Structure 1
């Protein structure tokens, strides 16, 4: 389905036009739910599954930048989700009566500056659906980096979506099995984490068979504190073997490959 364009070690820069996505989801639920000024200038109820987006980003490589732009005074109820996912918050106050915070402009400027400073960035992910991002898409591609876009289906500009190497509609992302930020508790959290990592890699690489070592690296991206011993397994290999009822393994050209049954 998807193909990774950059090498495995290249890192990911994730930029959120946070208010753009939130507003799109609110309007998709009910027209005028956000666009009316009396609705915009009040504390917002959370609508975005932050972890689902962060997990998708992790499937492209280790995340080096995770930065969100917004007027955060109205988005305090996202606090726990943003902290849990280690999102860097950039505060933008509207400079005039238009109430436009200029997040897209600041985001694009920062993205280009980061590409110039950090050669290890291989994939740029922009969360937002505005056509204003089209110029930066041209610059990102000219720099030889992979560009991935994420936006709400109803409000995403189709020209912007087509200008990306890959575009994921937010609704499809959260409806997929890989979007598991609100998972029901299971008997073995290690098993759920293994499944999440394997599914994300399979979707990103377009092949159900994925490298066993890549699964381990993906698990650590999803939860840097994870330790198999805390879940009763001597090491990662022992953990994988304990899951043989639903994990297949075979030898590959460069090591062991696994897939979910």
Structure 2
């Protein structure tokens, strides 16, 4: 990915038109622009086919270079071979830092692996049905649905007239349905935070967390879960403290609630009255030197207790509650 102050990466964008609809073009190229300059933009398919009328209507708008690939044999995809040959020629030219392969076809898995073996970055783009082998072969993989496009089924496309497809290239664009952030996803985020944490400071740079995730899950995208950015997911993960540095870079760290709960239990049992309550002020003074809540962004002891389960507080007292039976 291009960084501020560094020369943007030169990218070769190769699109399998037989496997991708024109509805995604604008969002696709805007996404690619986040990672570098699309120095080459080629799109492959049988341009004599009415199925590509949507793409034909926007080639000039997006400066896409169409590459004709005739279907010499029924049932065989000549587009794949033509794209692969061009990709290898571009790779051997040595002029490109990365490649954007736009297809949901697993046939491009060896190509992605070969490009990465040559030290070039590979960004893959495809539908949610894209086989895992191709997704994992890329450095990063983006679901087209997250870019605002959901592919029509072949039956729907076949039933539509050529004129209708040409006049309504955006007809297939709808908002993708977000997934829930399940236990496996939360576990992935927590492990990535741990792996990205600087042992010297205890903080993890959010950008590094994203890189750690991508190393094991190239197809991970916060937009799949309804979040515009990873930082939004992390905030909803709870139990984290955030800060930004002078360059507005975001960092986070785990709040050690397990240590706090042990300390609260110790303090409560030490100072509780016969009625089963302990003074907020007394417990707070005991906890503060041992667990400074202000270091974790809490203004006061009551504010901290409000974030801890199984604690009941009043204006001047607190007590520990037994966890609810599962």
- What TM-score comes out, normalization by structure 2 length? 0.43
**Runs of 4 or more off by more than 6 Å in structure 1?**
none
Contact (CA 8 Å) 1:70, 1:101: kept in 2 or not?
no
Contact (CA 8 Å) 1:153, 1:169: kept in 2 or not?
yes
Q: Mapping of 1:59-70 within 5 angstroms?
A: 59-70=34-45
Distance 1:163 1:4 in 2: 21
Aligned positions, number: 156
For structure 1, list consecutive stretches of 5 or more residues without a partner in the other structure. 23-46, 176-180, 183-205, 208-249
Q: What is the match of residue 103 of structure 2?
A: 128
Distance 2:7 2:78 in 1: 33
Distance 1:15 1:58 in 2: 14
User: Is 1:90 the equivalent of 2:89?
Assistant: no
For structure 2, list consecutive stretches of 5 or more residues without a partner in the other structure. 150-168, 171-205, 208-244, 250-326
Larger Cα Rg: Structure 1 or Structure 2? 2
Distance 2:79 2:133 in 1: 19
Q: 2:24 aligns with which of 43, 46, 49?
A: 49
Q: 1:157 aligns with which of 131, 141, 158?
A: 131
Q: 2:144 aligns with which of 159, 170, 186?
A: 170
Of structures 1 and 2, the one scoring higher in RCO (CA 8 A, sep 6+) is 1
CA RMSD of aligned residues (A): 2.9
Q: What is the match of residue 305 of structure 2?
A: none
Q: Mapping of 1:1-261 within 5 angstroms?
A: 8-22=7-21, 48-73=23-48, 74=50, 75-98=52-75, 100-117=76-93, 119-154=94-129, 156-174=130-148, 252=247
Render the CA deviation track for 1:194-237: whole Å, top value 9, x for unaligned.
Answer: xxxxxxxxxxxx76xxxxxxxxxxxxxxxxxxxxxxxxxxxxxx
Deviation at 1:16, TM superposition (A): 0.5
